[in-house]
Amino acid sequence: MSRLASLASRALAIFVVLWLGLAQARAERSEVRIGVLAYQGEVAAAEDWTPLAAALELALPGRQFVLRYFGLQELWQAVADQQVDFVITHGGQYVALESRFGASRIATLEDPRFASPGKALGSAVVVRAERQDIVNLADLAGKRLAAVAPDAFGGYLAALRELDEVGVGPGDLATIDFTGFPMQKALQELTEGRVDAAVLRACMLEELAAAGSIDATAFRVLSSRAENGFPCQLSSRLYPDWPFVSLHHTDRALAKEVATALLGMAPLPDGVAWTVPADYQDVHALYRELKIGPYAYLRDTTLLAWLKRLWWVFVGLFLIFAAGVVHAVRVEHQVAARTEALRKALAERDAAQARIQAQQQEAEHLSRLSILGELSSTLAHELTQPLASIANFAHSMVRRLDSGRYTPELLAGASRDIASEAERAGGIVQRIRSFSKKRVAIRQDCAPDELVDEAVALFCSMLAPPPEFKIVSDLPPATLIEGDPLQLQQVLLNLFKNAWDAMQALPSAQRRIDLEIRRYDSRCTIRVRDYGCGLDDAQMASLFEAFFTTKPDGLGLGLSICKSIIEAHAGRLVASRPDKGPGMCFTVHLPAHERTA
C-alpha cells in the first residue's frame, strides 16, 4: 500500500508541475480580446466562434485570443471603453463604429451557403400564414411589428429600408415591439399573436424549421424576392457578411498579423472562412436613406444641422474660392516675373545681337584687309606702272622744254597721257579705299552684272598680270538683287582670290576664271569656276568650317565669312566639282526680283 501511495503522490506532483507550467506559459502569452455580437445569445455565439479563437491561437502561437460576447449596445460601449482589440459584428454596426471610432475592416466572413460574401445578409418580414389581409410590405401600415432592436441590422434595419421605400415609415406602424436578443423572441411574439409581423434575419426561418423548432408552413414571408445564389427567402436586398474589425487603438502590427492569419486560415468546421474585406457602401446607403447612425444629422432641420449636412459643399466652395484667389495671385506674380524676365531676355538678346553684329562686321572688315594684305605685292606693282608712266612723261616734257623742241600739240598730248595715268592710279586707290573702309552694312537694289563687273575690275587692278576672266550672262536687263554691295563684292573677291591661289602652279597664260550669271525663276546664281588643283572629299566636307584652310599661311575664315554673308542675304553658297576638267566651282544663290518702273 505504501508503494501505491508513493506512486500516486509522484503522479500528483508531476500533474501539478505540468499544470503550473501550462498555466504559466498561457499567462506569458499576450492576450488579444475579441468582442463578438451575440445576437442569438452567449451560448450560441460561443459554439459559433470558439473554433475561430482556437484557429487563431494555432496560427499565432504567441497570442492568447479571448472571446467576449455582447449585445449591440454593450458591444458599442466596450469599443468606446477600449475593452476589446477587435470586433466581430454585422455590417451595420461596423459602419457606425467606422464613423464614430475610426474602425477598419480587415476581413469579411465567407459563408459557403452564399455565392458571394458581399451579398449574404438581409431581412425576412414574416406573418402568420393565415393572415390574408397582409400580402406585401405596404400592407403593414397601421400594423404591429416585432423586431430585435432599433440598431439590429438583419433583425430590423434592412427591413426598415424596404418599408421606407414603399412609404411605410416607423410612424406609419401601429407599434414596434423591440424584443431584444435572441431573435426567436420576435417570432414568439408573432406566434402568440401580440404582433402582426416580425422581422427576422434572412435564413433564420429556414434554420429553425430545419432544426424542428417551428413549422415553416405556419409562416409566410412578405414581398419575397429571389436573389441569384441565395438559398433563403427574404424581403430586403442583400448586404455584405460580418466583418472582422480592427479598432483605432489596436496595435497595427497585431492587426496585420491577425489579418494575415485570417486570410490564410482554412475553413472552420462549419465551413465558414475569411476573405478580403467586402465593399460596405450598400450599408452606408441604407443609413443615408434612413437618416440614421452616421447620417442621423440629415434628419435635423436647424441651420447648424443644415450646415453640417452640406459642409462639404461649403468646404468645396471655400476651397474653390481660395484656389481662385491663390491662382489669381500666383498668375499675377508669374505674369510680373515673366514680364520682367522677358524684358531682361529681350535686353540681353538685343545686346547679344549688337555684339554679334559688331563682331561680324569686324570679321568682315578683317577679311577685306586680309585680301588686300595678300595682294599687297601685286597692288604695289599695279600702282608703280601708272606712276612710272607719269614720271616718264614729265621728264620727257622737261627735256623738250629745255632743248626748245616742243610744240603745243606735243605738250597737250603728254599732259593728256599724264592725266590718264594719274586717273588710273587714283581709281585703283579709290577702289581699294572703298573696299577697305569700315562702315555699317546697308541694303539696296543691285544689278548682278554691274556688281560682278566692279568686282572683276577691282581684282584685276590689284594683280599683274591678272587671270583671264570669261563672263557669260543671260540675265534679263531688269533683274535686281537686294543686298549690301560691299559685302557681296567682298564675297566675289574672296572667291576670285581662292581661284587665283588654286591656279598658282599653272603658267600665267592658262590661269582662267569662268563666271556664269543666270536667272532661275526667283533666284539669281553667280558661278565662279577655276582650273586649279581642286579639293578632295575630306577637304570638301570641312570647306566652310571656321579656321579650316588648305593654304599654308591661311586663317581659314574667308569662306566661313562668305557663307554667313550670303545666308544673311537669304541665299546659299555651294561648292562643287566641275562636270569636266580640273578645278572647283563656287555658286552663289541669291533671291532676285524685277526692276519696278
pLDDT for 51: 94
- Which grid cell sits at 116? 458571394
Q: Write out the E strands in 452-522.
A: 468-473, 479-483, 512-520
Q: How many CB atoms lie within 10 A of CB 169?
A: 12
pLDDT for 276: 94
- C-alpha–C-alpha distance, residues 425 and 383, integer Å: 6
- C-alpha–C-alpha distance, residues 208 and 185, integer Å: 13
DSSP 426-445: HHHHHHHHHHH-------EE
Q: How many CB atoms lie within 10 A of CB 439?
A: 10
Find out whether 594 and 580 touch, Cβ atoms under 8 Å.
no
- C-alpha–C-alpha distance, residues 200 and 116, integer Å: 21
pLDDT for 480: 92
> Which portions of the chain are predicted below pLDDT 50?
1-8, 11-27, 377-378, 381
Find out whether 274 and 244 touch, Cβ atoms under 8 Å.
yes
Query: In this structure, what is the dihedral angle of CA atoms 208, 212, 214, 219, given to the nearest 10 degrees?
Result: 70
Backbone angles phi, psi at 167, to 5 degrees: 90, 15
- C-alpha–C-alpha distance, residues 513 and 584, integer Å: 10
Find out whether 2 and 55 touch, Cβ atoms under 8 Å.
no
DSSP 175-204: EEEE--SSTHHHHHHHHTTS-SEEEEETTH
pLDDT for 147: 95
Quick one: which of 207, 187, 205, 203 has its CA closest to 195? 187
pLDDT for 383: 61
pLDDT for 11: 42
pLDDT for 552: 59
- 478 vs 206, 238, 402, 596, CA distance in Å? 111, 95, 57, 8
Quick one: which of 375, 572, 578, 521 has its CA closest to 459? 375
Distance from chain centroid for Cα 113: 48
Cis peptide before 465 (omega within 30 of 0): yes
Where helices occur in 83-139 by DSSP H, the ranges are 91-101
- C-alpha–C-alpha distance, residues 558 and 195, integer Å: 114
Element of type H or E holding 147: strand 144-147
Q: What is the pTM of this model?
A: 0.48
**Domains of the chain in sequence order:** 28-116+242-278 (3.40.190.10), 123-237 (3.40.190.10), 375-438 (1.10.287), 440-597 (3.30.565.10)
Find out whether 108 and 278 touch, Cβ atoms under 8 Å.
yes
- C-alpha–C-alpha distance, residues 532 and 245, integer Å: 97
- Which grid cell sits at 88? 466581430
- C-alpha–C-alpha distance, residues 462 and 459, integer Å: 5
Backbone angles phi, psi at 148, to 5 degrees: -70, -60
Q: What letters, b where the CB count within 10 A reaches 16 and e where it falls short, cover 522-559?
A: eebbbbbbbbbbbbeeeeeeebbeeeebeeeebeebbb
Beta strand pairing call for 572-576 and 585-591: antiparallel
pLDDT for 433: 59
pLDDT for 420: 64
pLDDT digits 0-9 by tens, 288-309: 999 988 888 777 665 665 666 5
Cis peptide before 182 (omega within 30 of 0): yes
